[in-house]
Structure 1
Amino acid sequence: MSKSPSPELVVRMQRLAAYIEAHADEPLPLARLAGEAHLSPHHLQRTFTAVVGVSPRQFQAAKRLEQFKARLRGGDAVLTATYEAGYGSTSRVYEQVTGGLGMTPSAYRAGGAGESIVYAVRATGFGMLLMAATERGVCQVEFGDDGDVLVARLHDHFPHAVVEPAGESARDPLDAWMDALAAHVDDRAPCPSLPLDVRGTAFQIKVWRFLMSVKPGRVVSYGEIADAIGHPDAVRAVGTACGANKLAVLIPCHRALRADGSLGGYRWGLERKRVLLEQERGGRT
């Protein structure tokens, strides 16, 4: 069994993470980072991954993507954003970041211009439920008290995309998908298996994939998730990844609890989390 990093090493890795973020647009070979941390490259790689949840290279890639997205949102041209964020060429940026953006860089810069998104809203026993999808699959499922607010958030996120209700587009399997999810939430129907357009960091996607393997009626602690995905010291990062999930129920982050069995957090309210768990313990599939 591997030994957990000491508190001093944890602090050192946190400082190194801040250093990587500040220099994300620069080449950061492992040897340079090892020198900053006063560790051997092998020890650094292992310790950073244990503390942060991803390797230094993956962490830098995520921070570089964040900077690239911020520049696009700020109005920079794709070429300018490409080089300012440290990507060597536009071909490399299209290869590396399109998956993280969920669309091409030019479409993201334009607030989703050229992207087609359909949505549906239903009243459920958990409040209003919105589901939205791109051509790749479901990209957003949210609970709320006001359907108009949920739709407004979708428009705010993609101000220049073609966003329209399901049924007004030639591509509207979403309406049937929404019916299936609403039936699961309210009527004890099986949870539908739907195509997903999942957007997140490498670490977040590891967490979400594991959550999707947790069967209804079962729960896991954040620590158990961290162990299962090979990052036992990244418990806090697991909780953050659960909170970043934007696909309610389909990625069942409600099944993640604190080590003491308490509910922890839930993006859509602890009462909804509590009721979801009670229903699943009662035999919902």
Structure 2
Amino acid sequence: MKTQEDIHFDRIAKAITFLQGNFKTQPTLDEVAAYVHLSPFHFQKMFTEWAGVSPKKFLQYLTVEHAKKMLKNNQFTLSETAFETGLSGTGRLHDLFVNIEGMTPGDYKNGGTFLNINYSFEESPFGLLLIASTAKGICHVAFADNPESSLQDMKHTFPNAVYTEASDSFQKGIMTFFRKDWTAPHQLKLHLKGTDFQLKVWETLLKVPMGQLVTYGDIARAINRPKASRAVGTAIGNNPVAFLIPCHRVIQATGVIGEYHWGSARKKAIIGWEASQADILISES
């Protein structure tokens, strides 16, 4: 059963899809509100509370031209950007320190035998999340539009693990990001199942700051595999930790936002939301 927050996000995602599909005609507030079956007053209030900006301003963050601007503005390499924007501990936007500890080949091969995995469902601004962790850190985060199906998908990844529905400190740490707490460093650990190539791609994604975008080619060059854009795309598509490993910040070189494992509307919502939060932080500094 969907919560009120899920229903709100469904309406916001529907509005975002409508806005991007019709931005050339510049739909009015009344038109968008009618499309999601709300009064203009309530729609404006709900959307602004969620995004921090008006629907009209939010649309700006989702146009191709704005996406191109976000790509162009990132003049540094990924490693330089990481140092300048928070992974050094000096920035404000996304002080995210994540230690990736790949599972051993034995863990990978035996499907999680001897692993104890805690999991819980948590509400986020972008819908229900399934979050799972081992004693070493977060091992899985997914948007759970269908909770039972999402749980079965996770168990398919680690078929031999022992599962307990319980929330722990690793899981609770994730939710601070959705409370817009970008000012203090958070120590999180990821315990991931992946190949060396995948782990390198996922680690590189962590260096893309909130409010900025990169292309598949940018990631390929950052890991010194400039001709491996397609393989990079596959690794990004297999990202096991939604939102924290920000695969949503990778778009096509043309500025088109493209597809997303958890739905293109959700990807647009996250990109626009992060861009609005980054602008708010800059205006307040």
TM range (shorter): 0.5 to 0.7
Q: Which residue of 1 aligns with 2:62?
A: none
Q: Distance in 2 between matches of 1:281 and 1:239?
A: 23
Q: CA deviation at 1:141?
A: 0.4
Q: CA deviation at 1:221?
A: 0.6
The aligned amino acid for 1:246 is P
Compared with structure 1, are the counterparts of its residues 254 and 193 closer, same or farther at alpha carbon in structure 2 (3 Å cutoff)? farther
Q: Would the aligned equivalents of 1:114 and 1:161 in 2 still touch at CA under 8 Å?
A: yes
Q: 2:272 aligns with which of 262, 278, 281?
A: 278
Deviations 1:122-170 (A, max 9, x none): 1333221011111221110000212222223233333442201125xxx
The aligned amino acid for 1:280 is E
Counterparts of residues 171-186 of structure 1 (less than 5 Å): 172-177=168-173, 181-185=174-178
Q: Distance in 2 between matches of 1:183 and 1:263?
A: 26
Q: Which residue of 2 aligns with 1:164?
A: 164
Q: CA deviation at 1:263?
A: 1.5
Counterparts of residues 99-118 of structure 1 (less than 5 Å): 99-100=104-105, 103=107, 105=109, 108=110, 111-118=111-118
TM-score by length of 1: 0.56
Q: Which residue of 1 aligns with 2:188?
A: 194
Q: Would the aligned equivalents of 2:213 and 2:251 in 1 still touch at CA under 8 Å?
A: yes
Counterparts of residues 197-212 of structure 1 (less than 5 Å): 197-212=191-206
Residue 258 (str. 1) matches residue 267 (str. 2): no
Q: Would the aligned equivalents of 1:118 and 1:174 in 2 still touch at CA under 8 Å?
A: no
Q: Distance in 1 between matches of 2:144 and 2:252?
A: 24
Classify the secondary structure of the residue corresponding to 1:251: coil
Residue 232 (str. 1) matches residue 237 (str. 2): no
Q: CA deviation at 1:237?
A: 1.1
Aligned length: 176
TM-score by length of 2: 0.56
Structure 2: gaps (5+ residues): 1-101
Q: Distance in 2 between matches of 1:197 and 1:262?
A: 32
Deviations 1:89-130 (A, max 9, x none): xxxxxxxx96245x275xx2xx53422000110133322101
Q: Would the aligned equivalents of 1:117 and 1:132 in 2 still touch at CA under 8 Å?
A: yes
Q: Would the aligned equivalents of 2:133 and 2:171 in 1 still touch at CA under 8 Å?
A: no
Q: CA deviation at 1:175?
A: 4.3
The aligned amino acid for 1:155 is K
Compared with structure 1, are the counterparts of its residues 260 and 136 closer, same or farther at alpha carbon in structure 2 (3 Å cutoff)? same
Q: Percent identity of the aligned residues?
A: 38
Residue 242 (str. 1) matches residue 236 (str. 2): yes
The aligned amino acid for 2:169 is P
Q: Which residue of 1 aligns with 2:154?
A: 154
Compared with structure 1, are the counterparts of its residues 266 and 193 closer, same or farther at alpha carbon in structure 2 (3 Å cutoff)? farther
Q: Would the aligned equivalents of 1:120 and 1:174 in 2 still touch at CA under 8 Å?
A: no
Structure possessing the higher radius of gyration over alpha carbons: 1
| Structure having greater relative contact order (Cα 8 Å, sep ≥ 6) | 2
Higher deviation after alignment, 268-277 or 121-130: 121-130
Q: Would the aligned equivalents of 2:137 and 2:189 in 1 still touch at CA under 8 Å?
A: yes
Compared with structure 1, are the counterparts of its residues 127 and 201 closer, same or farther at alpha carbon in structure 2 (3 Å cutoff)? same
Classify the secondary structure of the residue corresponding to 2:164: strand
Name the structure where strand makes up a greater proportion of residues.
2
Classify the secondary structure of the residue corresponding to 2:170: helix
Q: Would the aligned equivalents of 1:208 and 1:251 in 2 still touch at CA under 8 Å?
A: yes
Q: Which residue of 2 aligns with 1:120?
A: 120
Q: Distance in 2 between matches of 1:268 and 1:104?
A: 24
Q: Would the aligned equivalents of 1:119 and 1:174 in 2 still touch at CA under 8 Å?
A: no
Q: Distance in 2 between matches of 1:250 and 1:268?
A: 14
The aligned amino acid for 1:188 is K
Q: CA deviation at 1:224?
A: 1.2
